Amino acid sequence: MQLMAEPAFVLHARPWRETSLLVEVLTASCGRVGVVARGVQGPKRHVLRAALQPLQLIRLDALLRGELARLTAAEAIDVAPRLGGAAMMGAFYLNELTLRLAPRMDPVPEVFVAYAAARQRMASDEPLAWTLRRYERDLLDALGYGFDWQCDGEGVPIDPAARYRIEPEHGPRRVLSDRGHGDRATAATGRALLALADDTLPEREDLAGLRHALRAVLAHHLGPRGLKSWDMLAGLPRPGG
């Protein structure tokens, strides 16, 4: 199978052998694809190397053989957002989460669309925490792991004044007390879940609880190995991600 002029976002790139790169890209037509870019370390290949940096949108030609594709051509379509500080850490998280959850060689166009939107928001004035929560929601929904964010797991409408934890196999469950349910402070407010459902920026104080609640779902689907970016983001001022 051959990809021709395929739009793709670069998620990760690392050295492979002496002069090559092993690149993970997200495409709309094939999902996540591992690509071997041969001979890109030479002095005359700096344009190609620049195009294969994480967060970059490229157009590529590749020959698919087995689990890895061989890159035959690639060019940058636009200029990747120039990020620093917390936003740069947020972008690392965006890429790592996508790399871990997006299926390889299984097209999910909704993931591609959600990633494109999140990438654009990273360079905007939108609060970083809200950008990440929106992407987590959209990624879960696209992969079939999401919920009706306006109702709990029993189908009861969310109460904006209550608090909820999100159970991966059930959905939002109202927290009635601390006993047996963990700390209410780490649960999401119903108000935050309704804001998530309406795609409306929650109150600033609701973002931390929303992060905790969504992370429980993500951790379930990621398995025992967490994300390196979670440790990095833990040191950022809140609500940073």
Tell me the CATH number at 128: 1.20.1440.120
pTM of the model: 0.91
DSSP state of 186: G
What is the predicted pLDDT for the residue at 43?
Answer: 64
- Specify if 98 maps to a domain: yes
Buried b (16+ CB within 10 A) or exposed e, 173-202: ebbeeeeeeeebebbbbbbbbbbbeeeebb
32 pLDDT exceeds 50?
Answer: yes
Same domain (yes/no): 48, 117: no
What is the predicted pLDDT for the residue at 233?
Answer: 72
Same domain (yes/no): 149, 218: yes
Same domain (yes/no): 71, 92: no
What distance in Å separates the CA atoms of residue 71 and residue 119, rounded to the nearest whole number?
Answer: 24
Structural domains of the chain, count: 2
| Boundary (domain end) residue, out of 76, 97, 131 | 76
Same domain (yes/no): 57, 147: no
47 vs 94, higher pLDDT: 94
Same domain (yes/no): 98, 217: yes
What is the predicted pLDDT for the residue at 17?
Answer: 82
When pLDDT is averaged across residues 193-203 and rounded to a whole number, the result is 97
Domain carrying residue 48 = 2-76
When pLDDT is averaged across residues 141-146 and rounded to a whole number, the result is 96
78 pLDDT exceeds 50?
Answer: yes
161-177 confidence digits (pLDDT tens): 999 999 999 999 999 87
Total residues belonging to the chain: 241
When pLDDT is averaged across residues 214-231 and rounded to a whole number, the result is 93
What is the predicted pLDDT for the residue at 237?
Answer: 59
What is the predicted pLDDT for the residue at 132?
Answer: 97
- Specify if 241 maps to a domain: no
